[in-house]
Amino acid sequence: MQEDIQKAFDQQAQSSPAGATSGPAPAALTGMQLLDKLVQVLELKGGSDIHLLEGEPPRVRIHGDLIPIVSKEHPVVTREDIMDILDRSLAPDQRKQFEETSDVDFSLAFRNATGRVNVGYANGRRLHLVMRYLPSKIIPLDELGIDPVMLRKLAEAERGIVLVAGETSSGKTTTIAAMLDYINRTRYGSISTIENPVEYMIPSQKCLVTRREIGRDTPNFYHALRASVRKNPDVLLIGEIRDAETAEIALSASETGIQTFGTIHAIGAVPAITRLQHVVGATGKQEEEFFLRLANCLRGIISQQLVKAADGKGLLPIYEILNITYTEKMYLIQRDLARLEQSLEADHNISMGHCVYNLWHQKPRRIDEETIRKLYPDQFSLMMNRLSDSRGWKPLVSTVS
Beta partners for residue 120, in sequence order: 128
Q: How far is it, in rounded angstroms, from Cα 151 to Cα 332?
A: 22
pLDDT at 107: 87
DSSP 29-61: PPHHHHHHHHHHHHHHHTEEEEEEEBTS--EEE
Helix (H, G, I), strand (E, B) or coil at 112: coil
CATH 3.30.450.90 given to domain 2-135:
yes
Sign of CA dihedral 267, 271, 277, 278: negative
Ranges of the chain whose pLDDT falls below 50: 14-16, 18-26, 399, 401
Helix (H, G, I), strand (E, B) or coil at 69: coil
CATH number of 141-387: 3.40.50.300
Question: Sheet harboring 65-68: ordered strands across?
Answer: 65-68, 59-62, 47-53, 126-135, 113-122, 104-109
| CATH 3.30.450.90 domain span(s) along the chain | 2-135
| CATH 3.40.50.300 domain span(s) along the chain | 141-387
Gyration radius (Cα) of the chain, Å = 22
pLDDT at 398: 52
pLDDT at 130: 96
Predicted TM-score (pTM) of the model is 0.81
Q: How far is it, in rounded angstroms, from Cα 58 to Cα 43?
A: 16
Identify which of 57, 20, 48, 23 has the alpha carbon closest to the alpha carbon of residue 36: 20
Q: How far is it, in rounded angstroms, from Cα 18 to Cα 111?
A: 6
